[in-house]
Structures are given as structure tokens and as C-alpha cells.
């Protein structure tokens, strides 16, 4: 059952927001920092040791050959291949619209300036192994990078127990145009991407989900290279009016609750009877859910409901929470969309469950968590681009503007800046 709080109890709402804190413990950071130092100093030798210790696999080489990728991908079921191909098509179509263009602007007296949009050269993508296998995340990370024009996409993923790559991951990498795959995982894989080893190239940016050790490693190498984000537990917030089906609402809340005991499922509604029906449905559906234990803990500890007077009031609360996934399960949802300010991704109407976006619709499922949707965005093509400005001044233009430039430089007590202009003045 969802824990209901009154909309006037702001202290409880604030306590909920604070409970989503996902700070990484100092013990984890210390352990990961040691792994990073070891990989930085000892390269592939360190990777072999950690792969044996953590994955129980001894590898002489981490690079997966094209033959092995093809063989693994060929093991996938036909229906899975078809679904992944269609999903890739939708993801490409959506992200193609995100392309940014360089520009040039000209002014009088020989002044022109502009901005160049340049793809990153090398990008690393982390793909989890073990119980958490997400071939869909390969598409969501690699396809935007490919569309951006990244020269070299490098994927790292833990090896299976026999040292091979998992078939579904291999297929996803082929569809997404990944250039190289290495069977190494954990914090050591992040360190390898950040600093480079004898076999794994140093990258400009690392993206992709992982466990707490992967998250800690990404946090520690940020600045050596860029990262996408430090992702916390998954979140969903459903806003529903009296026309919503309670079984739909319950199913969508559970779709995130099954991820993690710390995942949060929030329900805002204008109809108290709908809340009662949703709670009944949650009990029914939880009893049949394979990951019942995980989902039950999530609903018990982080499931929350608020009854509001209007849908607009629901959206205002949602903006304060800034959820990763926001469903507007209301009539005429497009009419309400402009009121939404803070959400990683928004799903409109009674039939657009968050699962559609997770796998197939085309929008990206790598989204800001922990309230960071207040200031950050979904992963997209722009994440794999950088911008470089340029400026040209003619002699005439410098004569016209030089005095103003020197005034500003001298006001900041930077005489050298002023002198660089002065020596060019007539």
C-alpha cells in the first residue's frame, strides 16, 4: 500500500525528497580509488587480476573478436532480433532530430565569429553483466553517439562465466555500430576507459549504468574524462485523473518498483476512490510479480501518494519532486504538458506506459534521477558533442573597439590584457 501524505504536510514531502539521497559511502570510495590507482599503474595486469577475483574468469585478452560477436549475436531468438531492430529504428529516427549545427555570424568592418559543433573522438560505454543485463541500454547509449559522429565507440561489459560475451549484448552492439568490445567490468573497467591500458583505449567520455562500484568509479574519474551522470535508484511519478484505470496505474508503479528496493513509486491523483482502487490493485499484482520481494520493499519504503484538488496542483508537486519518469495519465495530456517543468521524460495519456519509452518508442531511457531533472536532461546526441567558438577581428575593427577593451581590462587590473590591444592600436 502506498503511504499517503497530506499536501499540506510539506515536512513529510521534504523528508521524502531527502530520503532519496544516494551519496556513496567513504568505504566504497576508498576501495574504488585503490582499484583505479592499480589499473592506472599496472594496466592490463591489474584488469586480469580483478577479472579473476571478481568474475571468476581468467582471460589473456579482453578484446572480443568480430567472429565471436557474430557467433554470439546469432544465438538470439528471432523475435528478439526483430524487436531490437524495430526499437533501433525508432531510436535513430528520434535522435536524428537532435543534431546541432555549426554557425557563422558576420558583422561590419571584417568582424566574424561562430561556433563549431564537433563530435567527441572516443566514447566508452559501460554495459552491466550478471543479473542486470540491459541490451536496450546499449542502443540508448551507442546510437546517439553514432548519430553525433563519434569516431570510435568502445564498449566494456563483464564476461560470462565462460569468458564470452552475452548474445543479447552482442546483438545490441552490432545494431548500434559499436566499434570495439572488451570483456571487463566493474570499477576496473571504468578506470581502464578513463586512463587507458595496453589493450583498452583512453576515452573522452563514459556513459552507461552500473552498480555502486561503477558509480563510484565514474564519480572519481570525472575530470579525467567526462561522464553522463551518477545515476541513483529509479523513480516513477504517475499523475492520474478519474478516467484512469487503476490496474494501469498499479502496473506502472510496479514497473519501477521491481528495479530496486530503493526505487520510488509516487502516485498523485484528484480522485480518492482511484487511490483506494490502486492500492487494491497493487496487492493483487504484487502477489504475481516475479520480483515481488524487491517491489514490495520499494512500495513499502518509498511508495507515496498525494490527493490533490486539480491536475495542475498535481503537476506543481511533480515539479518539486523532479522525477526521472513522469506519466500524465489524464485526459488531453498535451494541454497539460507545458506546465511540466522538471521531469526526465514525460509519458502522455492512458496507454503510454513508461515501458514503451524504456524499450521501443524512440525517446532515450538514460534519464536524470534524484531530483536532478531540475537542471539536467536525458542522454542525447548533444551529450557526445562539444562546441568550440571562433572569432576574427580586422585591423579596422580593433581600432574601433580597442579603447573599450582596454578600459575593461584595466578595470580588472590586467595590464597585460590591455597591452596586447595597445600594441596593435595606431
**Whether residue 10 has pLDDT greater than 60:** no
Question: Averaged over 92-118, what is the pLDDT?
Answer: 97
Strand order through the sheet with 3-4: 3-4, 304-307, 264-269, 235-240, 325-329, 345-348
Which listed residue (95, 259, 325, 365) is catalytic?
325
Predicted local confidence at residue 21, as pLDDT: 63
Which listed residue (324, 327, 354, 365) is catalytic?
324
**Whether residue 12 has pLDDT greater than 90:** no
**Phi/psi at 243 (nearest 5 deg)?**
-85, -5
**Whether residue 15 has pLDDT greater than 80:** no
**Whether residue 299 has pLDDT greater than 60:** yes
Predicted local confidence at residue 6, as pLDDT: 82
Question: Averaged over 223-246, what is the pLDDT?
Answer: 95
How far is 180 from 171, CA to CA, in rounded Å?
13
Q: Is 242 one of the annotated active-site residues of the chain?
A: no
- To 10 degrees, what angle do helices 10-19 and 311-321 make? 40
Residues 6+ apart with CB under 8 A from 195: 36, 39, 40, 202, 221, 224
Q: Is 392 one of the annotated active-site residues of the chain?
A: no
DSSP secondary structure of 169-200? HHHHHHHHT--EEE---HHHHHHHHHH--SSS
**Phi/psi at 111 (nearest 5 deg)?**
-95, 125
| Contact by Cβ (8 Å): 183, 158 | yes
**Whether residue 89 has pLDDT greater than 70:** yes
**Whether residue 228 has pLDDT greater than 90:** yes
Predicted local confidence at residue 98, as pLDDT: 97
**Whether residue 18 has pLDDT greater than 90:** no
Predicted local confidence at residue 284, as pLDDT: 97
Q: Which residue has the cell 573599450?
A: 404
Predicted local confidence at residue 14, as pLDDT: 61
pLDDT tens digits, residue range 390-418? 999 999 999 999 999 999 999 999 999 99
How far is 294 from 258, CA to CA, in rounded Å?
6
**Whether residue 16 has pLDDT greater than 90:** no
Predicted local confidence at residue 24, as pLDDT: 86
Amino acid at each position: 500500500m502506498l503511504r499517503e501524505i497530506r499536501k499540506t504536510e510539506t515536512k513529510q514531502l521534504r523528508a521524502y525528497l531527502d530520503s532519496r539521497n544516494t551519496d556513496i559511502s567513504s568505504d566504497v570510495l576508498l576501495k574504488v580509488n585503490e582499484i583505479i590507482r592499480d589499473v592506472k599503474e599496472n594496466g592490463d595486469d591489474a584488469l586480469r587480476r580483478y577479472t579473476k577475483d571478481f568474475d571468476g574468469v581468467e582471460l589473456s585478452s579482453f578484446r572480443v573478436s568480430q567472429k565471436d560477436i557474430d557467433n554470439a549475436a546469432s544465438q538470439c531468438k528471432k523475435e528478439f532480433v526483430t524487436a531490437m531492430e524495430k526499437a533501433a529504428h525508432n531510436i535513430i529516427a528520434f535522435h536524428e532530430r537532435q543534431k546541432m549545427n555549426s554557425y557563422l555570424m558576420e558583422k561590419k568592418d571584417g568582424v566574424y565569429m561562430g561556433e563549431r559543433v564537433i563530435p567527441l573522438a572516443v566514447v566508452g560505454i559501460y554495459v552491466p553483466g550478471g543479473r542486470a543485463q540491459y541490451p536496450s541500454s546499449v542502443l540508448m547509449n551507442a546510437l546517439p553517439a553514432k548519430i553525433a559522429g563519434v569516431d570510435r565507440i568502445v564498449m566494456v561489459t563483464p564476461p560470462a562465466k565462460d569468458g564470452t560475451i552475452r548474445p543479447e549484448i552482442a546483438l545490441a552492439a552490432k545494431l548500434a555500430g559499436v566499434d570495439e568490445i572488451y570483456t571487463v567490468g566493474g570499477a576496473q573497467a571504468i578506470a581502464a576507459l578513463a586512463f587507458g591500458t595496453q589493450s583498452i583505449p583512453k576515452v573522452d567520455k563514459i556513459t552507461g549504468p552500473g552498480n555502486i562500484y561503477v558509480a563510484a568509479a565514474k564519480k572519481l574519474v570525472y575530470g579525467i574524462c567526462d561522464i553522463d551522470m551518477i545515476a541513483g535508484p529509479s523513480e516513477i511519478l504517475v499523475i492520474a485523473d478519474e478516467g484512469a484505470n487503476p490496474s494501469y496505474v498499479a502496473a506502472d508503479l510496479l514497473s519501477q518498483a521491481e528495479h530496486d528496493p530503493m526505487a520510488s513509486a509516487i502516485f498523485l491523483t484528484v480522485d480518492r476512490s482511484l487511490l483506494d482502487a490502486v492500492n487494491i490493485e497493487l496487492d493483487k499484482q504484487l502477489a504475481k510479480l516475479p520480483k515481488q520481494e524487491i517491489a514490495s520493499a520499494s512500495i513499502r519504503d518509498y511508495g507515496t501518494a498525494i490527493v490533490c484538488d486539480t491536475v495542475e496542483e498535481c503537476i506543481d508537486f511533480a515539479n518539486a519532486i523532479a522525477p526521472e519518469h513522469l506519466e500524465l495519465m489524464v485526459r488531453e495530456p498535451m494541454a497539460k504538458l507545458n506546465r511540466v517543468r522538471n521531469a526526465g521524460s514525460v509519458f502522455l495519456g492512458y496507454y503510454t506506459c513508461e515501458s514503451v519509452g524504456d524499450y521501443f518508442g524512440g525517446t532515450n531511457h538514460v534519464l536524470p534521477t534524484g531530483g536532478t531533472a531540475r537542471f539536467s536532461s536525458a542522454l542525447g546526441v548533444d551529450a557526445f558533442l562539444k562546441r568550440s567558438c571562433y572569432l576574427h577581428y580586422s585591423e579596422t575593427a580593433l581600432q574601433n573597439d580597442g579603447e573599450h577593451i582596454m578600459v575593461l581590462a584595466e578595470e580588472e587590473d590586467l595590464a597585460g590584457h590591455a597591452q596586447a590591444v595597445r600594441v596593435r592600436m595606431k
